[in-house]
Amino acid sequence: MQDVKIIEGAEGYSLGSGPVGALFCHGFTSSPQNMRLLADHLQAKGIAVRAPLLPGHGTTWQDLNSKKQRDWVDAIDAAFHELAAESDEVFVVGLSFGAALALDLAAHYPDRVNGIVTLAGFVATNDPRRFLTPVIRRFVRSLPGVGNDIADPELREIVYDRFPTSAAHFMLKQVKRARMSLPSVTAPILVMHGRNDRTVPPFNAQLIYDTVASTDKELVWLDRSNHVITLDRDREEVFSRTYAFIAARSAVSQV
């Protein structure tokens, strides 16, 4: 199989090292690029960051259309074990669909994930097309993209301009799996969501907060942001709250 070239700037990255690490999980059709500012903020404060590029992402939407649920789950699982071998404490930070991967991971390793941060987390949709994905993907290869839902016009994300339907079918399977796993999530959790999100309905944040079994949990609404809250008008609050959450629950608070 021919190698697919990664879009410049969409690569995964590994920043710093130390006893406290954060595993980043980016969203569907995007890349770790839209979490890089948050990564730099955390790394500057002593937190090691690992942000893998999910299979099929950062290349072409056709490449993504060849991938399935297991590909993304396995990639995050492998990255988690690599970071856990380097750091004593591991937190998982997921944006959009990445939150579905992060929550599922936390449900499977309740004694090894020290905390979770969901950013515009996606665990449910009320879009009626969700019932038709098994059929749609057989007749339509892609639909118009849904990226760059950002109120701030100064920042853009690297994201596909098409939404691959076959991969979307398997993405929704993972979203459902994450939703079903919420009662098994016990780690401390910080849930943040933009009130003006036009990509992932804001009810997702309340659903996550209400359903997880975590006793240490916080829900934060961001009034000036749309979907990509790591790049939007409330990004500085996202950065500071994410760091404060991790610092208060780890050895980094002693740095």
DSSP letters for 135-158:
HHHHH-SEEE------S-TT----
Tens digits of per-residue pLDDT, 227-249?
999 999 999 999 999 999 999 99
Handedness of CA 162, 167, 168, 174 (dihedral sign): negative
> Hey, how many other C-beta atoms are within 10 angstroms of the C-beta on 40?
14
Taking every pair of C-alpha atoms in the chain, what is the biggest distance, in angstroms?
56
Tell me what pLDDT residue 189 has: 98
**Beta pairing class for 48-51 and 13-15:** antiparallel
Query: What integer pLDDT is reported at residue 139 of this predicted model?
Result: 52
Nearest to 168 by CA among 127, 201, 134: 134
Whole-number Å distance between alpha carbons of 80 and 72: 12
What is the predicted pLDDT for the residue at 135?
45
- The residue ranges of the chain whose pLDDT is under 70 are 1-2, 127-139, 253-255
**pTM of the entire predicted model:** 0.94
Q: How many Å apart are CA 121 and CA 99, to the nearest integer?
A: 5
Q: What is the pLDDT, as a whole number, of residue 138? A: 62
Q: Which residue has the tokens 């950062």?
A: 58
